[in-house]
Amino acid sequence: MYQPPHFREDSLEVQHALIKAHPLGLLVTLGGSGLVANPIPFVLDASASPQGTLKAHLSRANTQWQDFDPALEALVVFQGAETYITPSWYAAKREHGKVVPTWNYAIVQAYGRMRIMDDPAWLLRQITAMTDVHEAAQPRPWAVSDAPAPFVAAQLKGIVGIEIEITRIEGKWKVSQNRSEADRQGVAAGLRLSPDDASQTMADLVDARGAVPGV
């Protein structure tokens, strides 16, 4: 990933927080048929390895779990808040007009070798952990154990687990740090006029991250 120093985010805690907030990762692997990419919901086990371990499952009918090279790294891309930035928000537009549109975003890319976990007990733990995380906010959380055991066992036969110990991870927060204080204030104010959550989150990031020293 292209990484200008002022956008780079090396904090593992911050990177993990984005993964947990945006767990639908794009799983990219290389195999005999070339590059394959699928959106997959992941669970991050931060304590399983130094940089964390990603756990998920694929439909058994999805050939990605068969058509990949286990000797090569897999890539999982986690996309956080992202928004279009109009130059109309910049103070610099009114001063000299030498401005262009851009896109702000926060993103994490995690790398590691993918292992296949074709074990019912592992799969049950994985789907239970994933369900518990995402059901926690519901007024009446659903649990895997709410479904009949024979039904759950039958469903497990239709999926295959994957596990990726993260060996390399990169974060990039491109949130107007390269703009002047006046431009950043204009961007944040413009974003806050939009009611969508992504714009509000991005406005908070622009305010929180500040400017590159010397800008």
C-alpha separations of 42 from 54, 66, 78, 114, 127 in Å: 6, 19, 10, 13, 10
- Supply the pLDDT for residue 86: 97
Question: Is residue 148 one of the residues assigned to a domain?
Answer: yes
CA distance 190 to 208: 16
What is residue 129's three-state secondary structure? helix
- 58 CB neighbour count, 10 Å cutoff: 18
Provide the b/e sequence for 170-184 (b: ≥16 CB within 10 Å): ebbbbbbbebeeebb
In sequence order, the β-bridge partners of residue 192 are none
pLDDT in tens, 101-118: 999 999 999 999 999 999
Average pLDDT over residues 24-49: 97
Q: Is the pLDDT assigned to residue 211 strictly greater than 70?
A: no
C-beta of residue 76 within 8 angstroms of C-beta of residue 42: yes
Record the tokens describing residue 80, joined without a space.
Answer: 């956080």
Total domains, the chain: 1
Q: Is the pLDDT assigned to residue 214 strictly greater than 60?
A: no
- Supply the pLDDT for residue 81: 96
Question: Is residue 214 one of the residues assigned to a domain?
Answer: no
Question: Is residue 213 one of the residues assigned to a domain?
Answer: no
Name the residue range of residue 183's domain.
Answer: 5-208
Question: Is residue 29 one of the residues assigned to a domain?
Answer: yes
Average pLDDT over residues 191-215: 87
Of all residues in the chain, the percent with pLDDT exceeding 90 is 94
Q: Is the pLDDT assigned to residue 93 strictly greater than 90?
A: no
Question: What type of residue is 11?
Answer: S
CATH of the domain at 142: 2.30.110.10
Q: Is the pLDDT assigned to residue 129 strictly greater than 80?
A: yes
Average pLDDT over residues 202-206: 96
Q: Is the pLDDT assigned to residue 213 strictly greater than 80?
A: no
- Supply the pLDDT for residue 157: 97
Question: Is residue 215 one of the residues assigned to a domain?
Answer: no
Question: Is residue 139 one of the residues assigned to a domain?
Answer: yes
CA distance 54 to 74: 11
Question: Is residue 77 one of the residues assigned to a domain?
Answer: yes
Average pLDDT over residues 122-128: 97
CA distance 139 to 158: 29
Average pLDDT over residues 192-213: 90
- Supply the pLDDT for residue 212: 65
CA distance 176 to 102: 9
- Supply the pLDDT for residue 215: 57
pLDDT-based confidence at 210, cuts 50/70/90? Answer: confident
pLDDT-based confidence at 168, cuts 50/70/90? Answer: very high
Question: Is residue 145 one of the residues assigned to a domain?
Answer: yes
C-beta of residue 104 within 8 angstroms of C-beta of residue 144: no
- Supply the pLDDT for residue 164: 98
C-beta of residue 187 within 8 angstroms of C-beta of residue 206: yes
Q: To the nearest whole number, what is the mean pLDDT of the chain?
A: 95
